[in-house]
Structure 1
Amino acid sequence: MSHLYNLAIIGAGPAGIATAVEGYLQGIRDIVLLEKDQNHNSTIRKYYKDNKRVDKDWKGQKVELDGRIYFVDGTKETTLDFFDEILDHHSVELQTHVEVQSIEKKENFFEVFMAGKSVRAKNVVVTIGRMGKPNKPSYKIPSGIKKKVGYTLDDCSEGEKILVVGGGDSAVEYAVDLSEKNDVAICYRRETFRRANPTNQTNIANAIMHKEVRPILGIDIDGLEDVDGKVKVIFNDMENEIFDRVIYAIGGTTPSAFLASSGIEEADGKPVHDDNYETNIKGMFVAGDITQESGGSIALGLNHGYAIACYIQGGDQIPSD
């Protein structure tokens, strides 16, 4: 008989960590946090540029924190340090490099399946972020240039001609950041960057005004071609152009296949849940940006974790066997 946890949490981002820590502070013990990457908060590590501002009131959305995790404005680095510290000070088991494949409801517990092993728990919380599955273009990327097409800045070098595709905060930040040492253009299907926050709108406007970033606005991309290892971009309403690298920053997708395989119902592209973030399956919860229209608010994720922890400790749990 394998060990039975009181709480298993899938995804070690802000919502997952908050659920674990708030659960511990509520008196729940035997908590395991399952993360597919090598460390917690992989989205922040991968998709936030160095020294990126991280605001509690994301996109100006005022959120009062409900729980006992006191989160304040900072940077990418201070935010990661903050989550390091609260994990270090609470007895939560963090398992990394474990990608959850499915969750199965048994009579008196859940079994969480990973490659080569599984864990059992009385309650399960799914906090997989949308950016765990970044949106990709609908057209095929030729095999010869796949290493020249990315979704983060990880493989970028200096002195490259780079096209950034997207109009949100990440796209704008990537373009401005890369423009310091590269020839950068940004392509967005709309005429303005209204999705970006005011600071980023100002930054991209200044970069365009000073000819540091070249705008390609109101234009869609029909496809990519491999030209001697470089990326030829096929625009739908302007002359095609060749780039050394293309970076897509076009958001993320709800992990619908995973949710469906675990029996979680969806509506309008989001998992169905009640006011306690409990899904249609009793004892299985969702938290974080997969529950939000546009995602991204750390403060809301922290509040989700607090609400779930309070409900599990005070509400009706799945009985132990």
Structure 2
Amino acid sequence: MDGILLEKLITYGIVFLFCGLIILFYLRKKSKASNIVVKKVETAKEEGLHEPVSLHPYIDPNACIGSGACVKACPEKDILGIIDGKATVINASNCVGHGACFHACPVEAISLRIGTEKRGVDLPHVNQNFETNVKGIYIAGELGGMGLIKNSVEQGQQAVDSVVKSKKINKEGILDLVIVGSGPAGISASLAAKKHSLSSITLEQDSLGGTVYTFPRAKVVMTSPMNLPLHGKVKLHNTSKDELLQLWKKVIKENNLEIVENTKVENITPLKDNTFKVSTNTGNEYISSNVILAIGRRGSPRKLGVPGEDNQKVAYRLLEPEIIKNKKVLVVGGGDSAIESALLLKNENEVTLSYRNDKFSRLKPRNKENILLAEKDKSINVIFDSNVVAINETDVLLNLKNGDTQKIENDLVYIFAGGELPTSFLEKAGVKISKRFGYIMKKY
């Protein structure tokens, strides 16, 4: 009997020891993974990538159970991680606002916000129907805080649905709707207007595709399945700008949409009969019952304000890098757009990159790796702490940190200094704008 008891005790002891070893192994593995995420967060802070610049996930640590579902659901790399059993944001600046983490969280510990407690973001007042404080003016897409292509497409359609429900349409001799912008939100709204048999016109200050058109040709657009009105479900994952633009052109042609390019809307004036006069830089004016603004947050490109900037060799976007060869090119800026453009041009041209700061920050990891490699192998001449002070016919003058001026022989200048939020344009139309701190986006 004693032998049997001893045998049982030994068996139990082995089982407990084995379970203990498993738990110990699990905890050590969990601690190791946690430490890796901690280091990633430290690196993100050093590189300026920890602070969000647009729509981003906010995690409530009191509600989070550390399931890791949000990490698995996020299609981007190293946006989220787990530290000590709680989810945390790592490279918030690289978040593109998919919202997959929000939907994946089993305990609703994640909300999607724009701006932080310290850094506010200017946002127009928009209700759940995408209508601003001015009845009849709607906002869809990036201007309202939602930059992802799929979200913009959905909002363009939903804004038109709200126009239809408002019944502020069908006045004789007056357009039902003017759509400003032909990016994803604008094209979706144009298709939805056609679907609902609304009289409408779409005005684009640049070329078809809006913001998408300004991407370098080789840039890949990350998106997911979306529904286009009158076209159906579109399954796009790793899609180049050209492929996306071909889709836009196809649906526009198939549905006979009227899109007027190279026409910038300068003023939207509310009239006494609850309609709007939409004035453009071409001198054309349109009277409409409703307006949808799908113009993006950047509005017009920010200029340097230096002598010679109106020279024809100056541009603010790179459209066809493959046809530019044997040129002396200056790229101005240190963001992802500037870096990607410089990298696309370096193989066929002599490229100089001028950046006003002393080091790169807030770059996507691959862009940072590639530009540092290009600087090292001297395929791109990178000049930190420099500012353009004059653009001449055959050269460009840079001011350096030590006070010296450097002259660079030059054929082309590409300026990537960001864009200016169209605040005055919106306010002239009566749309209210407020600075939001940690604003929860409720439209998800």
- Asked if 1:224 corresponds to 2:416, the answer is no
Q: Deviations over 1:232-291 (max 9, x none)?
A: 21223364322214321111111233223222222349xxxx967xxxxxxxxxxxxxxx
* SS class of match (1:7): strand
Say if 1:148 and 1:230, in contact at 8 Å, map to a contact too: no
Q: Deviations over 1:64-98 (max 9, x none)?
A: 85876636231121011011122233353323343
Structure 1 residues 43 and 141 mapped into 2: Cα distance closer, same or farther (>3 Å)? farther
Q: Which residue of 1 aligns with 2:135?
A: none
Q: Which amino acid aligns with 2:181?
A: G
| Residue in structure 1 matching 2:274, options 89, 92, 108 | 108
Q: Which residue of 2 aligns with 1:146?
A: 311
Quote the Cα distance in structure 2 between the aligned partners of 1:151 and 1:97: 15
- The Cα shift of 1:16 comes to 0.9
Quote the Cα distance in structure 1 between the aligned partners of 2:210 and 2:227: 24
Structure 1 residues 101 and 52 mapped into 2: Cα distance closer, same or farther (>3 Å)? same
Say if 1:51 and 1:75, in contact at 8 Å, map to a contact too: yes
Quote the Cα distance in structure 1 between the aligned partners of 2:315 and 2:256: 37
Q: Which amino acid aligns with 2:277?
A: E
Say if 2:182 and 2:203, in contact at 8 Å, map to a contact too: yes
- Asked if 1:264 corresponds to 2:428, the answer is no
Quote the Cα distance in structure 1 between the aligned partners of 2:267 and 2:315: 27
Quote the Cα distance in structure 2 between the aligned partners of 1:9 and 1:190: 39
**How many residue pairs get matched?**
261
User: How do 1:19-30 residues align onto structure 2 when only pairs under 5 Å count?
Assistant: 19-25=189-195, 27-30=196-199
| Residue in structure 1 matching 2:234, options 61, 70, 82 | 70
Q: Which amino acid aligns with 2:234?
A: Y
- The Cα shift of 1:130 comes to 4.6
Quote the Cα distance in structure 1 between the aligned partners of 2:246 and 2:391: 42
* SS class of match (1:6): strand
Q: Which amino acid aligns with 1:164?
A: V
Q: Which residue of 2 aligns with 1:177?
A: 344
User: How do 1:159-178 residues align onto structure 2 when only pairs under 5 Å count?
Assistant: 159-178=326-345
Quote the Cα distance in structure 2 between the aligned partners of 1:69 and 1:190: 44
Q: Which residue of 2 aligns with 1:17?
A: 187
Q: Which residue of 2 aligns with 1:41?
A: 209
- Asked if 1:186 corresponds to 2:186, the answer is no
Say if 1:6 and 1:28, in contact at 8 Å, map to a contact too: no
| Residue in structure 1 matching 2:362, options 186, 190, 195 | 195
Structure 1 residues 98 and 184 mapped into 2: Cα distance closer, same or farther (>3 Å)? closer
Q: Deviations over 1:102-146 (max 9, x none)?
A: 1122223222223443222221011223555111114x2247x83
Say if 1:2 and 1:119, in contact at 8 Å, map to a contact too: no
- The Cα shift of 1:31 comes to 2.5
Q: Deviations over 1:150-206 (max 9, x none)?
A: 323469853333332211121001111121122222222334433232332232233
Q: Which residue of 2 aligns with 1:307?
A: none
Quote the Cα distance in structure 1 between the aligned partners of 2:198 and 2:243: 28
Quote the Cα distance in structure 2 between the aligned partners of 1:171 and 1:225: 18
- Asked if 1:208 corresponds to 2:375, the answer is yes
Say if 1:2 and 1:120, in contact at 8 Å, map to a contact too: no
Q: Which amino acid aligns with 1:261?
A: K
Q: Name whichever of 121-130 and 238-247 sits farther off.
A: 238-247
- Asked if 1:235 corresponds to 2:414, the answer is no
CA RMSD of aligned residues (A): 3.3
Say if 1:172 and 1:200, in contact at 8 Å, map to a contact too: yes
Quote the Cα distance in structure 1 between the aligned partners of 2:346 and 2:403: 23
Structure 1 residues 149 and 235 mapped into 2: Cα distance closer, same or farther (>3 Å)? farther
Structure 1 residues 183 and 79 mapped into 2: Cα distance closer, same or farther (>3 Å)? same
Quote the Cα distance in structure 2 between the aligned partners of 1:103 and 1:174: 34
* SS class of match (2:223): coil
Q: Deviations over 1:15-36 (max 9, x none)?
A: 21122223444x3522321223
Greater length-normalized contact order (CA 8 Å, ≥ 6 residues apart): 1
Quote the Cα distance in structure 1 between the aligned partners of 2:298 and 2:200: 24
Say if 1:103 and 1:261, in contact at 8 Å, map to a contact too: yes
Q: Which residue of 2 aligns with 1:86?
A: 251
Q: Which amino acid aligns with 1:163?
A: L
When normalised by structure 2's length, the TM-score is: 0.51
Quote the Cα distance in structure 2 between the aligned partners of 1:257 and 1:199: 36
Q: Which amino acid aligns with 1:183?
A: E
- The Cα shift of 1:2 comes to 6.7
Q: Deviations over 1:7-53 (max 9, x none)?
A: 2101112221122223444x35223212234x4125443x3222222
Counting aligned pairs with the same residue, the percent is 27
Q: Which amino acid aligns with 1:194?
A: S
- Asked if 1:8 corresponds to 2:178, the answer is yes
